[in-house]
Amino acid sequence: MVKNLVSVIIPYYKNRFFFKECIDSVYSQSYKKKEVFIIYDNEKKDDLNYIKKIISKKKNIKIIINKKNLGAGISRNKGINRSNGEFIAFIDSDDIWVKDKLKKQVSFMRSNNIDLSYTSYEIIDEKNRSIGLRKCQKNISYENLLYDCNIGLSTVIIRKNTQTKNLVSFPKIKTKEDYVLWLKLSKAKIKFMGMENTLTKWRKTNNSLSSGTYQKFVDGFRVYFIYQQFNFIKSVFYLTILSLNFLKKSILN
């Protein structure tokens, strides 16, 4: 593990239109000590040459090519396993970081002696227009997370240490794989804290897998029934509250 190094993990699947803006936001960071892993998760290789061209002049960046489509969670695990940094940061290939994101967040984690941090984030559409804002909750517990998840994946940084090293692994599930991980880490009493600063722009697209209501509903049930090992009734109860909170946020934004 290299002290102060941030390992940035980016799974890629058919996001050609937004990828350059994403990777430019990573490399324009004021915090310079970083390595980047792009996990290419499209077995057809349609965009591979394009990506190689975009990153050809960038330093400390590696492409991991999946032989078949594995999904975002398992792809991130590949990047995590190759990472050398004291910190691991996640960003999806259609999202954007503001310039001082890493610098402010790493400083925040050091000054508060925490193992996982997340921030508020702006919601943008396919044309970069602002369509909402999600303010994060400063302190969050396992019990809080069971009812609602306000942690944006592309805002998260995790410190890799003896407490977190063997816990940071995403499950094999199509959506909400990040939610399962946050629950696992919070249940293990990993110290979480949110920054009120809006340091990420999360892109909402029409054809995004994470926008599929049915898939979210199915995977939401799995979060509780399979990964939390709740009984059927308890799983339905928490899923109902989670869904209502999601609808409330969707209406407000």
**Rounded CA separation 251/246 (Å):** 9
Residue 225, domain member (yes or no): no
Q: Is the pLDDT of residue 253 over 70?
A: no
Residue 198, domain member (yes or no): yes
Q: Is the pLDDT of residue 210 over 70?
A: no
Q: What pLDDT, on a 0 to 100 scale, did the predictor assign at position 97?
A: 98
Q: Range of 126's domain?
A: 2-206
Residue 243, domain member (yes or no): no
The CATH code of the domain that includes 70 is 3.90.550.10
Residue 144, domain member (yes or no): yes
Residue 164, domain member (yes or no): yes
Residue 229, domain member (yes or no): no
**Rounded CA separation 151/140 (Å):** 10
List C-alpha distances in Å: 73 to 57, 98, 176, 203: 28, 24, 9, 18
160: left (phi over 0), alpha (psi -120 to 50) or beta: beta
* pLDDT, tens only, 99-136: 999 999 999 999 999 999 999 999 999 999 999 999 99
* pLDDT, tens only, 140-173: 999 999 999 989 999 999 999 978 888 999 999 9
Which pTM value belongs to this model? 0.94
Q: What pLDDT, on a 0 to 100 scale, did the predictor assign at position 65?
A: 96
- Name the domain count of the chain: 1
